Homo-oligomer: A and B are copies of this chain.
Amino acid sequence: MDNPLIRKLEHYARLSTEDKAVLIKASSDRLRKLRAHEDVIAEGEKPRYVNLVLSGCACRFKHLDDGRRQIIAYFVPGDLCDLNVFILSQMDHSIGSITDVVIAELSREAMEELTMAHPRITLALWWETLVAAAVQREWTVNLGQRSAFERVAHVLCELFLRLRAVGLTNDDSCQWPLTQSELADTTGLSPVHVNRTLQELRAAGLVALRGKTLRIPDLDALKSAAMFNTNYLHLDHEGRHLDAND
């Protein structure tokens, strides 16, 4: 099973064999490949599809009039961009690729088919939505209250755990998709200061980030340095224990 969406949704609900078949079909219908730094959809455009990231990394972002940019969310494999986007006539922000990505475009009809006759999928998608909102809230806390050191540590933690949830880590390391400049647009810091903060994290032995590989030798230590509380990711709730092939 290498479908990251299924992998993730199984954190939220037990899926039946048929559920999985339907998900696989939906996520292989319309594929779209993008290189790094391209727009998936830009502010002002009308959304036509729910975008599902199959591989690579994308982000939601917003520009201010004077060019400052804030990254608002990351999308890793298995993430759906906007489940309810069809009633919007205009995007109020943009979505772009960070690395090369493969995206499945899910039409309105495909989404209806997924949910209509598949209550467990529907439930899992509800969870997906709730968790996305919780992540957004946590980012608000991160930007508002944490120091640069904690803030960068928190982003590293979160992304690592989310990658782990879809099987994209090896033990204590993973492919790291972000440049320092993107990390700066995420944390609201200058690229220079992100660089210095990463050096502090390295000096403290909390992370080893070289090239495109991130290694976290002691995840608990990094968590506590970041004041990271895993609960908002809701990776451990009751739904997944129910039997689905009933």
**A residues whose Cβ falls under 8 Å from a Cβ of B:** 60, 62, 64-66, 68-70, 72-73, 84, 87-90, 92-93, 123, 126-127, 129-130, 133-134, 136-141, 143-146, 185-188, 227, 229, 231-232, 234, 237-239
Q: Which residues of B contact A60 (CB under 8 A)?
A: 137
Interface pair B92/A134, CB less than 8 Å apart: yes
Q: Which residues of B contact A144 (CB under 8 A)?
A: 70, 143, 185-188
Q: Which of B84, B139, B187 contacts A129 (CB 8 A)?
A: B84
Interface pair A227/B145, CB less than 8 Å apart: no
CA distance A173 to B66 in the complex (A): 29
Known: A70-B141, A143-B143, A144-B188. 16 other contacts (CB 8 A): A64-B141, A64-B146, A64-B227, A69-B145, A70-B145, A72-B137, A73-B137, A87-B123, A87-B130, A92-B231, A92-B234, A133-B133, A136-B137, A139-B140, A143-B144, A144-B185
CB nearest to A123 among chain B residues? B87
Q: Which residues of B contact A143 (CB under 8 A)?
A: 140, 143-144, 188
Q: Which residues of B contact A231 (CB under 8 A)?
A: 90, 92
Q: Which residues of B contact A68 (CB under 8 A)?
A: 145
Interface pair B126/A87, CB less than 8 Å apart: yes
CA distance A84 to B130 in the complex (A): 8
Interface pair B65/A227, CB less than 8 Å apart: yes
Interface pair B141/A238, CB less than 8 Å apart: no
Q: Which residues of B contact A136 (CB under 8 A)?
A: 133, 136-137, 140
Interface pair B89/A238, CB less than 8 Å apart: yes
CA distance A232 to B145 in the complex (A): 24
CB nearest to A64 among chain B residues? B227
Interface pair A127/B234, CB less than 8 Å apart: no
Taking the closest CB of chain B, its distance from the CB of A91, in whole angstroms, is: 10
CA distance A185 to B140 in the complex (A): 11
Q: Which residues of B contact A232 (CB under 8 A)?
A: 92
CB nearest to A88 among chain B residues? B130
